[in-house]
Chain A
């Protein structure tokens, strides 16, 4: 392939690279504009296309004005708690589905997939009523309960992943007197690295990025960064500060981008593992 690549005719090079470069430029342009705007002085927001000097002070202002650290901590606690619980429970349940049989096994697995299909809002509205009745609104309990019941997507992913493990491992461990829980903790879980990484990233991202549930379930002060970022930064007269807002958005998104740059291969592998191809 390397030899062929060097000998490509210019026309073929253009055909192969032209569309993909163009598409990448179009995709990246709004993000590029986010960065550019975040570095403009507010006074030149409307008047000049590019910043005359890089206004890093926007970032300091974005942190200060929004009480950024407080809300970022809330987001971090909530996302991590949910991700850890959901990944562990989903791995356990996925192991159960992959390695243990009982009457009702396949019907229950169909149910796991079916819950994936129910529209979010249909499920959330009665959950909201339930949480309100139980006095769990304004607390992080809903996320803990969601985490403790696992995620259909992650259960499916772990089931598919564990189904590829050789059964001899179980047999050997069983001969040594290990119970199912020990087999799970000492053999399956430590060897599930890619599935853990892929599902943890998605679970973390879901809470970090979600706006609807924290906006409806939490108070202004214990809500997540997503809720805080939905409001614009304004100056004392109530005028919007677009440049500072963009700096805040960059800071809000940055951890995810760094995270994903490192985890890209796990994500692809995770999707391949679920065997969506059918």
Chain B
């Protein structure tokens, strides 16, 4: 705006009026967003810059007297840290299970409750409920559900195979973690899919039906392609969340039923974020832990960018309502 007034020959009173108005408008805008901007600088940009600097030091989180720069030692150490590599492997494995299975389930649930069925609100609420349940409660629910002594899973298994005594949390902790995660996230993804489904004009499907398409064909060739932007959104957020899973495995650790929330999870559930958490808050290695977290951020960013690159091939943005 200001640039244009320089180029065009105009009477000066009008120019200053314009400028003054533009200036006032800019001030208004910046005043209105100032709480967020201030928060972004003080609680976002400054701490992030601090964390970046911290990742090149030996900071222990306590006092600054012994802090010194260690160059890229923390990063070099992270690449040689067998625990970090193992944890990253477990995290990627969990992600590879939880994200596709979760996505398919969310889509299936949304398609099911989007049909003209009775009590569809009740079904929606049931599927959404686990998403609302806080993580501490969800972990307790699953701990008791799969508990060898008082759990329903073992009681049911015992009815089929007498002598069944599955100690799922000890023998297959990652399976429990995966089911817990999928169960907890399903409702959130379902609602986003539902919003997407309801954004597809009914005429498209009706037109295809009139042309003789079966219901399965309509889903496959009309609904799914139009839903790819939503699938993409849920895929990206699902991956970002899955790579950072921390609290569930911490609280799912055995011990006297979570009596000691600081205990280390079983080896199978030793995820990357858990490793970083333990290095930082248990071992007080703030510098090294920060380096681990920046590497996680790099992985998250890399995967997201990769997905955005591939999205041109399969995400369909063609429809204007």
Contacts and interface: CB of A to CB of B under 8 A. Distances in A.
B127 A23 contact: yes
Contact of B191 (A90, A105, A234, A271): A271
Interface residues on chain B, size class: 35 or more
Interface in A203-237: 205, 208-212, 215-216, 226, 229-232, 234
Contacts of A249: 136-137, 140-141
Given A89-B35, A112-B36, A122 B51 contact: yes
Given A24-B126, A125-B51, A260-B132, A230 B39 contact: no
Interface stretch (B77-85, B149-157, B217-225): B149-157
Contacts of A28: 126, 129
Q: Give 3 closest A-B pairs by Cβ, nearest first.
A: A149-B39, A209-B134, A96-B32
**Do most interface residues of chain B lie in helix, strand or loop, or is the interface mixed?**
helix
Given A92-B32, A102-B30, A230-B136, A242 B47 contact: no
Contacts of B257: 232, 240, 242, 245
Contacts of B230: 276-278
B43 interface: yes
B155 A148 contact: no
- Which applies to chain A's interface (DSSP): helix, strand, loop or mixed? helix
Interface stretch (B8-16, B166-174, B206-214, B288-296): B288-296
Nearest to B152: A33
B32 A226 contact: no
B191 A267 contact: yes
26 contacts: A20-B117, A23-B127, A30-B152, A92-B35, A100-B29, A102-B26, A108-B33, A117-B300, A149-B40, A155-B36, A211-B134, A211-B135, A211-B136, A212-B246, A212-B247, A215-B261, A230-B251, A231-B258, A242-B144, A246-B140, A249-B141, A256-B132, A260-B132, A272-B199, A276-B196, A278-B232
Given A264-B125, A278-B317, A121 B35 contact: no
Given A33-B152, A121-B276, 14 more contacts: A20-B115, A23-B108, A23-B109, A27-B186, A93-B32, A95-B32, A101-B25, A102-B25, A112-B36, A125-B51, A211-B134, A230-B258, A245-B144, A260-B128
A232 B304 contact: no
Contacts of A186: none
Interface string B303-321: 0100000000000010000
A130 interface: yes
A23 B123 CA distance: 9
A103 interface: yes
A11 interface: no
A113 interface: no
Contacts of A215: 261
A158 B42 CA distance: 23
A54 interface: no
A164 to B, nearest CB: 15
A238 B255 CA distance: 12
B102 interface: no
B293 A119 contact: yes
Contact of A105 (B29, B243, B294): B29
Contacts of A5: 116, 118
Interface string B139-183: 011101101011110010000000000000000000000000001
B300 A119 contact: yes
A163 interface: no
Which of B137, B145, B286 gathers most chain A CB within 10 Å? Answer: B137
B160 to A, nearest CB: 14
A161 interface: no
A90 B97 CA distance: 36
B126 A27 contact: yes
B115 A16 contact: yes
B150 A37 contact: yes
Interface-centre pick from B44, B136, B258 (highest chain A CB count, 10 A):
B136
A122 B112 CA distance: 38
Contacts of A178: none
A194 interface: no
A140 interface: no
Contacts of A260: 125, 128-129, 132
A95 B26 CA distance: 14
Interface in B244-290: 244, 246-247, 251, 256-259, 261, 273, 276-277, 280-281, 286, 289-290
